[in-house]
Amino acid sequence: METICWTVDMNKDLSRSYPQITQAANLLKQNEVVAFPTETVYGLGANALSDEAVGKIYQAKGRPSDNPLIVHISSLEQLKELSKDIPLYAQKLMNVFWPGPITFVFFKKGRLSNKVTAGLETVAVRMPDHPLALELIKQSNLPLAAPSANLSGKPSPTAADHVFEDLQGKIAGIVDGGRTGVGVESTVLDCTGEVPIILRPGGITKEQIEEVVGAVEADQALINEAFTPKSPGMKYAHYSPEAPLTIIEGDTIFFQKLIDEARLNGKRVGVLTTEEQKHFYKADLIIACGSRSQLDTVAQQLYDALRKFNEQQLDCIYSESFPSEGMGQAVMNRLLKAAGHRVISQG
């Protein structure tokens, strides 16, 4: 299959009904799969009402079919067609954060493909905050099932080049709208009970949610890895670079000692650090991923950094750990998944 690439320069193209988007929308109407930018990462979109179309997502990604997908919409009318029993607290959150990087899980209704929900009685829905994503949904006149546009298990794509690297020849098209902004996927919030439960930390923090609706709970799987995650995109190993990644909890002296030991054993070592601390380390490849004082910059650059490690033949990668408050919760969630929960602590 030839993968068509459309480039949209939103600084030069004045029209919101970009002709490139019309072409991509026509492919979606034909039950093809098209990657497109959102404010979080690039999504891999297909008609959420069609078993055929959704099946092509799983096939292209190599994604297990028991892993549900998030449905992307452009209007509240579409939400009402897909879900029911929407609590008042969810309406308050939608008023504040939609369009934006937060996904709500409701009881499903309507003609959704069972492949979207993996047979569950719930559906995960979000309204992305990106003009190209919204225009694509509007022009196709379809709710779009759209996981991240990468091969299953690899770091999520924050640029069209990442999508092309993973999925060239596997999908019908890629809409290139430049780099994404948030850098990690949306927060997923279970809204099927009396109290909202965070299933996946992401672009909207726990603290921001609590400012609107008060206390929220965290899914047991976020606290204890023995529990099975309920959120789309959280059930299986994910985000991993090719070399094994380990998170180091300790000071820079302890960190460098581990690097030196590995290199004495003949290993090529990569280090994931920040601008503030990159000068403390000596290794085969050092990548500074944002600033410790601004964890949103770490989130923005995380997946790109993990992919850059694949450009050199490394035997192992060591990463700093980060505070687990605010955006740091999403960063550490993704790092722990990428590391397979391998952590070395100074003690």
Which letter, b or e, does each residue of 284-296 get, where b requires 16 or more Cβ atoms within 10 Å of its Cβ? bbbbbbbebeebb
Is 63 marked within a binding site?
Answer: yes
200 assigned binding-site residue: yes
Q: What are phi and psi of 165, to 5 degrees?
A: -60, -40
Given a contact cutoff of 8 angstroms between Cβ atoms, the answer to whether 34 and 175 are in contact is: yes
Q: Is 338 annotated as a binding residue?
A: no
DSSP per position, 119-152: T-SEEEEE----HHHHHHHHHHTS-EE--BSS-T
Could you give the CA distance from residue 185 to residue 197 in angstroms, rounded to a whole number?
17
Is 239 annotated in a binding site? The answer is yes
158 is in an annotated binding site: no
310 marked ligand binding residue: no
220/213 Cα distance (integer angstroms):
20
186 annotated as a binding-site residue: yes
- 148 in a known ligand binding site: yes
Q: Is 263 annotated as ligand-binding? A: no
Is the Cβ–Cβ distance between 1 and 171 less than 8 Å? yes
- 334 annotated to bind ligand: no
Which residues, 6 or more positions from 193, have their beta carbon under 8 angstroms from its beta carbon? none
Annotated binding site: 40, 63, 67, 72, 122, 126, 146, 148, 156, 186, 200, 239
Annotated binding site for ATP: 63, 67, 148, 156, 200, 239
Annotated binding site for L-threonine: 40, 72, 122, 126, 146, 186
